[in-house]
Structure 1
């Protein structure tokens, strides 16, 4: 943070050096990428208020 705060007071020739230092500090605090979920989230079907008749095998073909 001091690198950002000191840029207005730094000489123009020193600003690239301060930015390189800031970039190297950023690499130290960067978190690793998240791993994928073992069980991905899914949207659950909304339950019906009343029971419905199940489809017959002949209706599933259409």
Structure 2
């Protein structure tokens, strides 16, 4: 099985409120694992590629802004 290769966006600051993704599994497994950068040994959430695309669209549109 292919191991996920997690990375953090270059847009992330050093504030610690970041996620890491493993895009290397999208084409072969149809999933994008997502994890908390503060806990790289912890669990990851596997999003299907359509769900991950919707998540990114939501981020870009401001759907997840703090109130």
Q: Structure 2-normalised TM-score?
A: 0.30
Structure with a larger share of its residues in helix = 1
Q: Which has the larger radius of gyration?
A: 1
